[in-house]
Amino acid sequence: MLLAVDVGNTNITFGVYDGEREVSTFRMMSLLSRTSDEFGITILALLERNGIKKDDIEGIIVVSVVPGIMHALIGGLTRYVGKRPYIVGFGVDTGIEIKTDNPKEVGTDRIVDAAGAYALYGGPLLVLDFGTATTYDMVDEKGAFVAGVTAPGIGISAKALWQNTAKLPEIEIKKPASILAKETISSMQAGLVYGQIGQTKYMIEEMRREAGIPDMKVVATGGLGRMISEEVKEIDIYDATLTLKGLQIIYERNRGRAPQENPYETGRE
């Protein structure tokens, strides 16, 4: 089995795959400081809780946008699970050519989403990820990453409201019954959710228009993506585990190659 690990700004999401079949998924917060031993012990406990033995894991692949925790995480995986991981972005073949002005600036999580979406749904397409940031990425018909837009995620926008204004409370992010809000909480919810819906519609429309592909397929993922996808008819597919599927696809492309040395080891860049 494969252990796929997606290290995001808010959560670390794990997926266990038997070939292409998803066996289990689970997560932990990525903002907590942990040692490699704490990571290893916690991951083993989560695997066991999901009925998976350490010896069942044949390979590990990791994508991360949080370099600060990678030394401890990779150490914990290597020591406790007993496998050296593939790390996306360091000599790993993703199958995605990056045709931007500075390819090194493109986040590896976005490359993984692009790899998964292109392999599963074909191109050209737009890949939307509603995570800590909201991203809109274009993949052409040959599987090349050609453009990307980055915007604040709904969660970031919500925190900006209640952390920078004295009288606005912390709220649950959900679609209110009406955009015609009559009190503070639903007013904030309307601004956040309907604002994201409007932004999403406009981004899709403009990216399709400038690319000259008015019917370009749109695939969405991310924690709040389901709520937005239900309201935006331009989104064709919502795939909650797109990033993990992308990791599984990339792992298969690299199967048989030795994983690279850990670039996060002390003394390495």
Mean pLDDT value of segment 74-79: 95
Kindly list the strands in the beta sheet with 11-18, ordered across the sheet, starting from the edge strand earlier in the chain: 21-29, 11-18, 2-7, 59-64, 86-87
Q: What residue has token string 């997926």?
A: 15
pLDDT in tens, 55-68: 999 999 999 999 99
pTM (two decimals) = 0.91
Q: Which two tokens stand for residue 58?
A: 């044949």
Is residue 221 within 8 A of residue 130, CB to CB? The reply is: yes
pLDDT in tens, 176-234: 999 999 999 999 999 999 999 999 999 999 999 999 999 999 999 998 999 999 999 99
DSSP annotation of 174 reads -
Q: Which of 23, 93, 29 is nearest to 61 (CA)?
A: 93
Q: How confident is the model at residue 145 (pLDDT cuts 50, 70, 90)?
A: very high
**pLDDT at res. 260:** 73
How many Cα atoms are found within 13 Å in the side-chain-facing hemisphere of 191?
15
Task: Return the CATH architecture of domain 122-238.
Answer: 2-Layer Sandwich (3.30)
Q: Where are the domains of the chain?
A: 2-91+248-254, 122-238
Query: Which stretches does DSSP call E strand in 166-264?
Result: 217-221, 237-238
**pLDDT at res. 265:** 63
The span from the CA of 255 to the CA of 94, in Å, is 12
Q: Which of 216, 222, 221, 213 is nearest to 234 (CA)?
A: 216
Alpha-carbon torsion (46, 50, 54, 57), positive or negative: negative
Does 2-91+248-254 match 122-238 in CATH topology?
yes
23 against 89, higher pLDDT? 23
Q: How confident is the model at residue 31 (pLDDT cuts 50, 70, 90)?
A: confident
Angle at 133 between CA 129 and CA 137, to 5 degrees: 45
pLDDT in tens, 32-57: 789 999 999 999 999 999 999 999 99
Q: Which of 115, 109, 120 is nearest to 145 (CA)?
A: 115
Mean pLDDT for the chain overall = 93
Q: Which CATH class is domain 2-91+248-254?
A: alpha beta
The span from the CA of 170 to the CA of 137, in Å, is 30
Q: How confident is the model at residue 107 (pLDDT cuts 50, 70, 90)?
A: very high
Candidate list 55, 93, 109, 236, residue with the active-site label:
109
* β-bridge pairing 125-130 and 97-98: unpaired
Q: Which two tokens stand for residue 62?
A: 């990791």
**129 included as an active-site residue:** no
pLDDT in tens, 112-124: 999 999 999 999 9
Percent of the chain predicted with pLDDT > 90: 83
Alpha-carbon torsion (30, 32, 37, 43), positive or negative: negative
The span from the CA of 203 to the CA of 97, in Å, is 23
